[in-house]
Amino acid sequence: MLFMIIERFENDDMLPVYRRLRDEGRQLPDGLTYVDSWIEPNFARCFQLMECDDASLLQQWVLAWRGTGARFEIVPVVPSAETRNVVAPWLEAD
């Protein structure tokens, strides 16, 4: 399952998080896969796409980042191509 992680940086300061990332890596538990990420130009938020079959792995990962000033919102997502397949039969139903 895919999850969009919306990470907010305390005081829009991402430097503590980037330092830890540089020094200790992503600290992903086995079974949690980092796919890609995007940062807002003002450094206020990072959007990370993660993949796993067990949401408790995300909880473990969030706990590993305590103390960095980062806050996380975790949103399950479905790829657009899969959603189009689900919606397609409904388009002709009217």
Of 12, 6, 10, nearest to 38 by C-alpha is 6
Q: Is the pLDDT of residue 8 over 80?
A: yes
Name the residue with higher pLDDT: 94 or 36.
Answer: 36
The predicted structure's pLDDT at residue 94: 61
Long-range Cβ pairs for the range 13-20 (8 Å, 24+) = 13/43, 13/69, 14/39, 14/43, 14/46, 16/68, 16/69, 17/46, 17/65, 17/68, 17/69, 17/70, 20/65, 20/68
Please state the pTM of the whole predicted model: 0.87
- Please name each of the domains of the chain with its CATH number: 2-91 (3.30.70.1150)
| pLDDT tens figures, 11-52 | 888 899 999 999 999 999 999 999 999 999 988 899 999 999
Instruction: State residue 93's pLDDT score.
Output: 66
